[in-house]
Amino acid sequence: MKTTHTTASAKQKKIAVICRTIGLEYDDRIRKQCIALAERSEIKIFVLFADNRSESGTTSYGIPYTSFELTSKNRLPGGRFLLLKAIEFYLKVKPHLKEFDTVWCHEEYCFLFPLLSYKGRSIWDLHELPQKFIRFPMRLAFSLIERRTKTIIHANEERIDYLRRVGLIHKGPEKHKTLHNYPDETFVTLAKSGYRDPKFTEWLDNRSYVYLQGLTTSDRFPYNTISSILDTTNHAAVVIGNIDDSEALGRLKEEYGPTLNERIYFAGMVKQLDIGPYLSGAAFSMVFYNTDDPNNRYCEANRFYQAISLGVPVITGSNESMANIVNQNKLGVSIRSDGRDKDEIKAGIKRLLDGYDLFKSNCERSRESYIWKDALLLREWYE
């Protein structure tokens, strides 16, 4: 059922949300933020879709939006000439912003909006590390944005610390804020009552299983992850999302033969709000990222918080942002490597299973702390 947010009164702030995304129904962070902001402000989304379509409408959660088609994107497909495309997007959206009090800009791609907005009028919401801004001349652009914008939002403190170490951030906590991407109550509710493919239930046959998601590429260590489960446990496992690492898949098929499909269920792509029923019944989950890239190293994956919010223990790699949470609260196990050492993963699984009752109990007790609340979006950040 569609949630409707009524038109704001004259006294309410008007906030323009600017973003680039595959689809507004799939972008969980934007959905949660817009719902929270709409409780006290009038919101409209200005968006560039991945398929470059132009349209106007209203999201399923009641927020109006307008999307834009870029000529540069049609003529120059792929990841080339991003600056040119960003300039065209800015020029198309800018005339629509005169009536808005605040401009809430998502990601590096939308950097021209906080750079060229009036001082104190914009929010820059960085889902990822702004690595393009670490070197000159983009470092100068970041410095200007830091002075002009009201607030810059980061995914966690570890990312802020990293940007300070490389000399990109100069302002203090009055400017740079942290907003963790916790799952909301909608996700948790659907996890307990939502649809799960009957084919999976039949295949599972009441076995204990491990939840795996995001094993797309080699930097997520799909071979080591799946192989460790097959070698170390009697558990089955479900894999949500595609595995594009053909070398890893080929190696798994060659080494395990029919056993692979007997114990590993490859579910393919599943919508964000539909993954909960698969995750809620899992014994545990595993999340690994190659730490060579800083953006991966300081990542807090959605599926990491989703697992904890459902009381499911997690095994992580050495990535500080996730390992710190797991270790401090005993919500699972972090291994010494980032996932590239298969023996480390196998040892981590054994440690988790040996102390499973403690980890499971801690997750159940702590899970409310990892669920999104609208109050996390502080009014002082944008008012």
Instruction: Give tens-digit pLDDT for 85-112.
Output: 999 999 999 999 999 999 999 999 999 9
* Domain shared by 168 and 317, yes or no: no
What is the pLDDT at residue 66? 99
What is the pLDDT at residue 79? 80
Average pLDDT value over all residues in the chain? 94
What is the pLDDT at residue 208? 98
* Domain CATH for 99: 3.40.50.2000
Residues 181 and 178: their CA atoms lie apart, in Å, by 10
Query: Could you tell me how many residues make up the chain?
Result: 383
Residue 303 has pLDDT above 70, yes or no: yes
* Domain shared by 175 and 98, yes or no: yes
* Domain shared by 194 and 319, yes or no: yes
Q: Domain ends where: 134, 161, 179? A: 179
Q: Which domain holds residue 340?
A: 188-369
Residue 1 has pLDDT above 70, yes or no: no
Position 379 in a domain:
no
* Domain shared by 247 and 334, yes or no: yes
Local confidence band at 195 (pLDDT 50, 70, 90 cut-offs)? confident
* Domain shared by 305 and 223, yes or no: yes
Report the number of distinct structural domains present in the chain: 2
**What burial class does residue 354 get, using C-beta atoms within 10 Å of its C-beta: 0-12 exposed, 13-18 middle, 19+ buried?**
exposed
Average pLDDT score over residue span 135-144:
94
Average pLDDT score over residue span 159-188:
94
Position 102 in a domain:
yes
Residue 269 has pLDDT above 70, yes or no: yes
Residue 4 has pLDDT above 80, yes or no: no
Q: Domain ends where: 145, 179, 213? A: 179
* Domain shared by 218 and 365, yes or no: yes
Position 117 in a domain:
yes
Q: What is the DSSP letter of 44?
A: E
Local confidence band at 193 (pLDDT 50, 70, 90 cut-offs)? confident
* Domain shared by 193 and 322, yes or no: yes
* Domain shared by 148 and 267, yes or no: no
Average pLDDT score over residue span 133-141:
94
What is the pLDDT at residue 192? 87
Amino acid at 103: V
Q: Which of residues 56 and 379 earns the better pLDDT score?
A: 56
pTM for this model (two decimals) = 0.90
Angstrom distances, CA of residue 173 to CA of 165, 169, 336: 15, 10, 31
Q: What is the dihedral of CA 314, 318, 320, 322, to 10 degrees?
A: -10
Q: Domain ends where: 148, 179, 210? A: 179
Average pLDDT score over residue span 198-219:
96
* Domain shared by 229 and 357, yes or no: yes
Position 377 in a domain:
no
Residue 324 has pLDDT above 80, yes or no: yes
Q: What is the DSSP letter of 241?
A: B
Q: Name which of 379, 3, 382 is nearest 184 in CA terms.
A: 3
